[in-house]
Amino acid sequence: MNDEPRGTGAPRTAVPPQDSPPASPQSLPAARLPAVRSSVALLTDRYELTMLQAALADGTAHRHCVFEVFTRRLPPGRRYGVLAGTGRVLEALPHFRFADEELEFLERTGIDDSRTLDYLAGYRFNGSIRGYAEGETFFPGSPVLQVEGTFAEAVVLETLVLSILNYDSAVASAASRMTSAAGDRPCLEMGARRAHEQAAVAASRAAAVAGFAGTSNLEAGLRYGLDTIGTAAHAFTLLHDDERSAFVSQVESLGVGTTLLVDTYDVRKGVQTAVEVAGTGLGAVRLDSGDLGVLAAEVRRQLDELGATETSIVVTSDLDEHAIAALAAAPVDVYGVGTALVTGSGAPTCGMVYKLVAREDATGVLQPVAKASANKASVGGRKSAGRRLGDDSRATEEILVTGPDEAVSGWVPESEDVRPLLVPLVVDGAVDSRWVGAYGVQNAAANHLASRGELPLTGLRLSAGDAAIPSVDLRLP
């Protein structure tokens, strides 16, 4: 490998000769087909590796550093956020490796010199990560993740960490508002077709963290042990010569406990036919169009009149938290949510940032550092955090702890009414397995239910307003 960069790294596109016909998909050799990659090391921004190169050259790359993830503000109208994606970050760490393919690309495009490539060839994150437990509610300034290690090993994780946490937390924050509005009625995730195929899996997981009871996405079910749901679309009814034939086929295949979609043609006739075919033990009917509140009331009356008193009503069709809240008085049993959920219901990102807050100086002492830019200022130094609870076990304030690094890193609340919020996630490169896989999702969902349950009732309102609880600073001597 040459120490000198080879070119600018600008994208290069091969142009076929003008007299050559375009290749058909069948004629493409396997080597030219996109490969499924196991490494996540290049799911990053170029400047992380160019910073690394310069830091390796000037000797600062191995300085001990602390980076923190936080958001400066909540999306407009939101009173709290929900942290999700922590488990996915931890699952990705072992796959943040630079193998031959990644290194060859970086060398060929001149992005990094030989010293940097040699460092990346042996890259492993051996630092430590602390943060809020996944599923925890958060507020502006909350230090939801804290990455500690050398500059070299921590800086390259920035984009991966932010891309996961910003999307997953946006989905979970929207999902929490939906499950809160739904009360005891279950919400089902069915938004895969409205998202990137991998984002759809992440959205299913984030929705489960915030209390969704099932997902239509089979890959999410496999990876994270989620309950999967789904029966038939309008296409299945349209495939058959008439609605009755479709219902008979579905019931014979899936049993009378299935859910029949009754609004392909005429809802009232559809309900009548559904009960005639499946009997009064029919599991559920689904409504996917029209005025759902009015239709649900009419369908409930009709089902009861037909003796199908235990048959549930599932509603879908562009639901969000406001539509769910508006249906609170309707005889709806289950909500199916798609587009609004996987797009964060109007807030597709949480605006989280990954900032260096402390670094070792030339004498080996950890010093706080802070950005002073207008409207983007940060607070230097490692943080800790706790949540104060009132006599009714409701949260009254978020405590953000600052001060000398040794005091902050060892901070323990003096009062029993303050719950510490940061937990160890990675220690010296070893991932705590409680936060990954299917168990990690279950753990996060339980955390969220408890954390949201601490918020004052005013903090659960869907109307715009201040954060559910104020954040206060505690400066240690």
Cα–Cα distance, 263 to 267 (Å, whole number): 5
Q: Please check the confidence at residue 102 and state whether its pLDDT lies above 60.
A: yes
> Which of 181, 219, 463 minimizes the C-alpha distance to 330?
181
Going from the C-alpha of 85 to that of each of 307, 343, 414, the distances in angstroms are 45, 15, 31
Q: Please check the confidence at residue 93 and state whether its pLDDT lies above 60.
A: yes
Q: Please check the confidence at residue 352 and state whether its pLDDT lies above 90.
A: yes
Q: Contact 245/263 with Cβ under 8 angstroms?
A: no
Query: What is the pLDDT at residue 15?
Result: 35
Query: What is the pLDDT at residue 132?
Result: 98
Q: Contact 401/476 with Cβ under 8 angstroms?
A: yes
pLDDT tens-digit readout, 115-147? 999 999 999 999 999 999 999 999 999 999 999
Q: What is the rounded average pLDDT for all residues in the chain?
A: 92
Q: Where are the extended beta strands (E) located within 80-212?
A: 81-82, 128-132, 137-138, 145-150, 187-189
- Residue 146 bridge partners (DSSP): 68, 130
Q: Looking at residue 12, what DSSP letter applies?
A: -
Query: What is the pLDDT at residue 6?
Result: 34
Average pLDDT over residues 386-400: 96
* Domain map (residue ranges) of the chain: 46-172+347-475, 184-346
Phi-psi region of 176 (alpha: psi -120 to 50; beta: other; left: phi over 0): alpha
Query: What is the pLDDT at residue 377?
Result: 74
The residues, ordered by sequence, that sit 6+ positions from 309 with a Cβ below 8 Å of its Cβ are 280, 303
Q: What is the pTM of this model?
A: 0.90
DSSP assignment of 211-256 equals: T--EES-HHHHHHH---B-----HHHHHHSSSHHHHHHHHHHHH-T
Going from the C-alpha of 14 to that of each of 10, 11, 17, 29, 454, the distances in angstroms are 13, 10, 10, 16, 58
> Which of 316, 286, 280, 318 minimizes the C-alpha distance to 299?
286
| Confidence band of 37 (pLDDT split at 50, 70, 90) | low
Q: Contact 398/391 with Cβ under 8 angstroms?
A: no
Query: What is the pLDDT at residue 26?
Result: 46
| Confidence band of 375 (pLDDT split at 50, 70, 90) | confident
Q: Please check the confidence at residue 350 and state whether its pLDDT lies above 50.
A: yes
Query: What is the pLDDT at residue 24?
Result: 43
Query: What is the pLDDT at residue 35?
Result: 52
pLDDT tens-digit readout, 242-289? 999 999 999 999 999 999 999 999 999 999 999 999 999 999 999 999
Cα 170-173-175 angle, rounded to 5 deg: 105
The CATH architecture that domain 46-172+347-475 belongs to is: Alpha-Beta Barrel (3.20)
Q: What is the CATH number of domain 184-346?
A: 3.20.20.70
Query: What is the pLDDT at residue 372?
Result: 82
Query: What is the pLDDT at residue 51?
Result: 98
pLDDT tens-digit readout, 214-229? 999 999 999 999 999 9
Query: What is the pLDDT at residue 309?
Result: 98
| Structure token digits, residue 85 | 């994606």
Cα–Cα distance, 379 to 46 (Å, whole number): 26
